[in-house]
Amino acid sequence: MGHLLVVESWVGSMSRLLPRAIREAGHEFTFLTRDLHHYLRSAPEGTAHPLLGARHVLTADTNDPATLLPEVERLHAVLGFDGVVTSCDYYLPTVARIAGRLGLPGPGLEAVENACRKDATRRVLAEAGVPGPRFAVHAEWAEVDRAAREIGYPLVIKPVDLCAGMFVRKVADETELAAAFRALAEFPVNARGQRRDPAVLLEELLDGPEVSVETVSYGGTVEVIGVTDKSVGGAPAFIETGHMFPAALPPADLDDAERTALDALKALGLMDGVVAHTEIKLTSAGPRLVEVNPRPAGNRITELVRHVTGIDLAAACVDVALGRTPDLRRTDTGLRSAAIGFLVPDRTGTLHTLDADGLVNAPGVLEVQLAEPGKAVRAAGSNNEYLGHVMAGDADGPGARARVEELLDGLRAGLVIR
């Protein structure tokens, strides 16, 4: 039995999947947070609160490595940790620091920091020859304006240190760029109280479909679990509206995506102790790397993988954090594809009606999660404003996405926001 230190978490899907995987494998965990009140809300999706399964729930300033690392050393001397993990992007470098300090399994700090910083990822991969968009990184408006003209409009502006698509925008001209630049400048601290870097990343706008490659790195090797396709909407934002696993693409496109992901992981040094989610655009000029996430995929993609292959990526994350060989054996689950679609609000108000009668028992449905009437709704600008999701599977082939879209069309017809 292993004892994991879990440092912070999202309040959502992975916050349940990770504790469940720890428990089902016979391990235990101690949860460490700077703000327990962040988690003291209703249990996610009506289930038992995941923190109820913790051996200990402790507080420390997880945003201050100078005080955190000595404190974790003292805790380790008493409690004895066998691994350290997080499900929250903003604490992945912190976990790498702790693992290095305590001599626990995991990737190196530099590799994790470079993957978590979009600008550093761009620089490392460009030096290694991994294909990506033309880009520039600047903090001052005059330099941003000049670099945008050099790259050419339309282009994409991104924060270098946020996630979930926050403040990522397509801009068509200098006016739109200036508005997006100001919006980022007015968001100096992230949701976890960490001060942001004022630099922005400008990128060439890429054409073609977007996919993600799900991988597990252990023992110096990387195993590709599969490729997920993605649908994106909400322009000028880039909101993930759905996913299907496995991606219904020609073998050559799948090979291109997998090869690009492997090259990126190697260049960054993420070859051991990482479950990764690497996003790639299959452009008319070939594959282009979007970003590398050194953690399991969000948006329930891990559950799509599990429904189709039987592979539990949350359990794999636990295994590699403990320095163990993950179980990546595929089983026949009876499904050939699984897809998820998100209900994305296009206006602000209060949710009045969302008619889901009979949806849970509809053919092919695997999961339904929907907001309750009375919820305050905000027109979506990132992946944080969903009103819920529907997941469905197909036993015969790649029909899961079409089934999900059919079910979502029914939901949208009965959606009332006032």
The pLDDT of residue 248 is above 60: yes
pLDDT band (50, 70, 90) for residue 44: low
pLDDT higher than 60, residue 43: no
> HEC string of 240-275?
EEEEEECCCCCHHHHHHHHHHHHHHHHHHCCCCCEE
C-alpha distance from residue 105 to each of 171, 219, 319, 418 (Å): 42, 11, 10, 51
Structure tokens of 280?
Answer: 């790639």
Give the residues across from 3 on adjacent strands: 28
CATH 3.40.50.20-classified regions of the chain: 3-104
Q: What is the mean pLDDT of residues 233-237?
A: 93
Top CATH class of 3-104 equals: alpha beta
* pLDDT of res. 355: 81
> Tokens 């790639």 appear where?
280
pLDDT in tens, 264-318: 999 999 999 999 999 999 999 999 999 999 999 999 999 999 999 999 999 999 9
Mean pLDDT of 151-160: 98
User: CATH 3.30.470.20 spans which residues of the chain?
Assistant: 208-333, 337-418
Confidence of residue 217 (pLDDT cuts 50, 70, 90): very high
In angstroms, the CA 175 to CA 182 distance is 11
| Mean pLDDT confidence for 92-106 | 98
Residue 11 has pLDDT above 80, yes or no: no
According to CATH, where is 3.30.1490.20 located in the chain?
134-204
Q: Which residues contact 155 (CB under 8 A, 6 or more apart)?
A: 148, 170, 171, 177, 202, 203, 204, 205
Least confident of 26-30, 62-66, 359-363, 364-368: 359-363
CATH 3.30.470.20 fits 208-333, yes or no: yes
What does the DSSP 8-state code read for residue 54?
-
The amino acid occupying position 266 is K
Condensed to tens digits (0 to 9), the pLDDT of residues 47-85 reads: 678 888 899 999 999 999 999 999 999 999 999 999 999
**Distance of alpha carbon 397 from alpha carbon 381, whole angstroms:** 33
- Residue 158's Cβ-count burial label (10 Å; 0-12, 13-18, 19+) is buried
Q: What pLDDT does residue 203 have?
A: 98
3-state SS, residue 288? strand
Number of H-type helices and E-type strands within the chain: 11, 19
Q: What are phi and psi of 10, to 5 degrees?
A: -75, 160
* CB contact set of 361 (below 8 Å; sequence gap of 6+): none
Matching residue, tokens 């219904």: 248
pTM of the model: 0.95
The burial class, CB within 10 Å (0-12 / 13-18 / 19+), for 31 is buried
DSSP code at position 189: B
Residue 45 has pLDDT above 70, yes or no: no
pLDDT above 70: percentage of residues in the chain: 98
Strand order in the sheet with 83-85: 56-59, 28-33, 3-7, 83-85
- Beta strand extents in 271-384 (DSSP E only): 274-283, 286-293, 337-342, 349-354, 365-370, 376-377
Mention every residue, 6+ apart, whose C-beta is less than 8 A from residue 218.
272, 273, 319, 320, 325, 326
Q: Provide the residue count of the chain.
A: 418
Q: What is the assigned CATH class of domain 337-418?
A: alpha beta
Domain 134-204 has CATH 3.30.160.40: no
- What is the percent of the chain with per-residue pLDDT over 90, rounded to a whole number? 88
- pLDDT at 122 > cutoff 70: yes
For residue 212, the cross-strand partners are: 228, 279
Mean pLDDT calculated for residue range 213-224: 96
Instruction: Give the whole-angstrom CA distance, residue 146 versus residue 326.
Output: 48
Residue 110's pLDDT is what?
A: 98
Q: How confident is the model at residue 12 (pLDDT cuts 50, 70, 90)?
A: confident
pLDDT value of residue 52:
85
Shortest CA distance to 224 belongs to which of 312, 108, 328, 335? Answer: 328
The answer to whether the peptide bond before residue 246 is cis (omega within 30 degrees of 0) is yes
C-alpha–C-alpha distance, residues 344 and 202, integer Å: 26
Mean pLDDT, the chain, as a whole number? Answer: 95
pLDDT tens profile 172-215 = 999 999 999 999 999 999 999 999 999 999 999 999 999 999 99
Residue of 60, 15, 10, 51 lying closest to 33 (CA atoms):
60
> What pLDDT is attached to residue 312?
98
Q: Does residue 4 sit in helix, strand or coil?
A: strand
